[in-house]
């Protein structure tokens, strides 16, 4: 964006101060002082004076320019378009039916009082609605109010029961936390006791197997014992007979022993099979007990881990259970509050509808220009339909794009002067209200950023989209004597201005200059307001 410079004076403030549209400067791609065109307008009729000391081929030509008093400003200028905040005037349809339901009550528009382009004040009527339709809506709304009252009572009952339940849960979890370590120790003891009992069962089963196997061996050894005893008796009988002794008793004992041995042999197979079955059963019991014991031993660490997790969970609840309780209490309270808010909203809506019953008029709540009228007499409106749109004169903006070379000089709240093409002689003022930090336009040679300037002053005459030029002042001197830069020339390090005297003669006066915006220059001394300065140029004769 190029820089433009502005100036004003008492007689020609608008022409001196208003900048040329920025599009002009962009086309020339130079940073040109804003007052160049203004100076061309301000300049009065040119006077021509021959220069006696000039060669025959050239002569001096003079153009008059006034010495004035005013402000000299320099700044950044850009064009933009006005943007008006649109306020929708709506009729709130509070009927309870769906918008797609044919039975849904709609309100008839009986009269429309405004037209687009008309200015309205707060309280001015916009349209008149059918009071009969409003009464139907009011009945529906009152029914909804009764239902909302019941919903509120239910929410309060739920709150009471919910608080009791939350308190019970709180106490239970706190108790669990308090007993967490004890429960952990008991769980470990229970795990240890279970392993001990399984080990004892395994050892008892092992003893049972050993006893039965010993009994089987004893049964097998009994035959050898019978045979040894029989052999011994037979030898004793032989020895007695050799000695001539009576062997009757020994023979009777031998007969009894041989009978027992025969019974043993007859029952050996059955007894052996019975013992072997009992041994097999005892071994199965022993193996099962051993497996359970080994599983318990291997799972002992898992039981301990689970017990520890339960303990830590319970202890964790001790830290969070109060928060959970408070959250639940807050949730119950919020439910009640939302029901109360819904009831209050319905009460407000009923009050609003009852206000319409007086005359059925929808009135303006803002002062401003009517931008659009969206209904005509005979239309029917429903939920939040827009009847008209009003431009809020308190929020009028002009939006523009600032080149990246100049955006660093723009800040929020920075003041600006604005001239609209529709009102070229009237100055508006404003401040930067918002700035974009992302490019509005990006190309190989141009990057710009959108900003919004909020306007002040008599903005009710501005229309949406009006074109204007915004100038952000970077430097300004006020109420100074000034003259066109072109009237000042320098010789030997000093500045001079040629002036036209009252008798038409020309004088050269030394001046001290100050701030210049490239168009006008401040005269600190040497000239007075009202004098006529001359701009000299050379032309061929």
pLDDT of residue 406: 87
Query: Contact at 8 Å (CB) between 35 and 517?
Result: yes
Computed over every residue of the chain, the mean pLDDT equals 80
Question: pLDDT tens digit string along 165-198?
Answer: 988 888 887 777 666 666 667 766 777 777 778 8
Distance CA 463, CA 466 (A): 6
Confidence label for 476 from pLDDT (cuts 50, 70 and 90)? confident
Question: When comparing pLDDT for 160 and 220, which is higher?
Answer: 160
Distance CA 533, CA 508 (A): 10
Query: Contact at 8 Å (CB) between 11 and 530?
Result: no
Distance CA 522, CA 74 (A): 13
pLDDT of residue 25: 35
Confidence label for 24 from pLDDT (cuts 50, 70 and 90)? very low
pLDDT of residue 303: 65
Domain architecture of the chain: domains with CATH: 3-77+395-458+471-540 (2.40.420.20), 176-348 (1.10.287)
Question: pLDDT tens digit string along 408-445?
Answer: 889 999 999 899 999 988 889 999 999 998 888 655 56
Instruction: Identify the bridge partners of residue 120 per DSSP, sorted by sequence position.
Output: 368
Task: Tell me the helix, strand and coil percentages in the chain, rounded to 5.
Answer: 45, 30, 25
Say whether pTM exceeds 0.85: no
Question: pLDDT tens digit string along 52-107?
Answer: 444 557 788 999 999 999 988 888 889 999 998 888 888 764 444 333 443 355 78
Q: Report how far apart, in Å, the C-alpha atoms of 32 and of each of 22, 38, 77 are.
A: 10, 12, 11
Confidence label for 314 from pLDDT (cuts 50, 70 and 90)? low
pLDDT of residue 133: 78
Mean pLDDT of 138-151: 89
- Could you tell me the two tokens for 237? 């009988």
What percent of the chain is predicted at pLDDT more than 70? 78
Question: pLDDT tens digit string along 36-62?
Answer: 333 333 333 344 445 444 455 778 899
The H-or-E segment that residue 514 falls in is strand 506-516
Q: Which of 246-260, 304-318, 469-483 has the lowest mean pLDDT?
A: 304-318
- Judged against a pLDDT cut of 60, whether residue 539 lies above it is answered with yes
- Judged against a pLDDT cut of 90, whether residue 508 lies above it is answered with yes
- Could you tell me the two tokens for 158? 């739920």
pLDDT of residue 302: 66
Instruction: Identify the bridge partners of residue 373 per DSSP, sorted by sequence position.
Output: 388
pLDDT of residue 361: 81
pLDDT of residue 405: 86
pLDDT of residue 315: 62
């Amino acid at each position: 964006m190029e820089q433009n410079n502005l100036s004003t004076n008492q007689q020609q403030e608008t022409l001196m101060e208003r900048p040329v549209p920025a599009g002009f400067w962009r086309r020339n791609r130079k940073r040109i002082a804003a007052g160049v065109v203004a100076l061309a307008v301000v300049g009065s009729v040119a006077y021509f004076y021959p220069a006696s000391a000039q060669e025959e081929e050239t002569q001096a030509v003079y153009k008059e320019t006034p010495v004035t008093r005013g402000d000299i400003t320099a700044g950044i200028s850009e064009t933009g378009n006005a943007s008006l905040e649109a306020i929708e005037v709506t009729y709130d349809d509070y009927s309870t039916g769906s918008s797609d339901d044919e039975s849904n009550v709609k309100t008839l528009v009986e009269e429309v009082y405004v037209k687009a382009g008309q200015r309205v004040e707060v309280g001015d009527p916009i349209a008149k609605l059918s009071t009969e339709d409003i009464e139907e809506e009011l009945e529906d709304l009152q029914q909804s109010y009764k239902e909302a009252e019941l919903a509120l009572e239910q929410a309060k009952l739920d709150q009471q029961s919910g608080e009791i339940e939350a308190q019970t849960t709180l106490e239970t979890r706190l108790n669990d936390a308090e007993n967490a370590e004890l429960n952990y120790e008991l769980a470990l003891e229970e795990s240890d006791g279970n392993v001990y009992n399984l080990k004892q069962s395994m050892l008892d089963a092992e003893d049972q197997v050993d006893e039965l196997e010993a009994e089987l061996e004893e049964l097998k050894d009994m035959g050898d014992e019978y045979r040894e005893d029989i052999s011994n008796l037979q030898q004793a009988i032989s020895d007695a007979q050799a000695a001539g002794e009576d062997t009757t008793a020994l023979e009777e004992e031998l007969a009894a022993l041989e009978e027992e041995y025969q019974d043993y042999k007859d029952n050996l197979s059955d007894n052996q099979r019975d013992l072997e079955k009992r041994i097999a059963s005892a071994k199965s019991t022993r193996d099962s007990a051993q497996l359970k014991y080994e599983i318990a031993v291997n799972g002992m660490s898992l039981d301990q881990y689970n017990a520890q997790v339960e303990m830590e969970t319970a202890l964790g609840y001790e830290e969070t259970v109060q928060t959970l309780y408070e959250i639940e209490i807050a949730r119950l309270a919020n439910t009640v509050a939302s029901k109360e808010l819904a009831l209050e909203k319905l009460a407000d809506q009923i009050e609003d509808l009852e206000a319409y019953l007086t005359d059925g008029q929808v009135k303006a709540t803002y002062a401003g220009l009517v931008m659009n009228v969206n209904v005509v007499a005979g239309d029917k409106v429903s939920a939040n339909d827009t009847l008209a749109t009003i431009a809020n004169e308190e929020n009028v903006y002009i939006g523009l794009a600032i080149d990246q070379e100049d955006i660093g000089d723009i800040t929020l709240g920075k003041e600006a002067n604005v001239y609209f093409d529709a009102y070229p002689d009237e100055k508006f003022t404003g401040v930067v209200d918002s700035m974009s930090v992302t490019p509005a336009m990006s190309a190989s040679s141009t990057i710009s950023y959108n900003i919004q300037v909020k306007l002040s002053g008599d903005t009710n005459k501005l229309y949406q989209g009006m074109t204007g030029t915004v100038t952000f002042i970077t430097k300004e001197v006020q109420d100074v004597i000034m003259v066109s830069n072109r009237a000042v020339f320098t010789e030997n390090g000093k500045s001079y201005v040629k002036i036209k005297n009252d008798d038409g003669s020309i004088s050269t006066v030394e001046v001290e200059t100050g701030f210049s915006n490239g168009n006008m220059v401040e005269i600190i001394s040497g000239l007075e307001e009202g004098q006529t300065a001359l701009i000299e140029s050379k032309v061929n004769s």
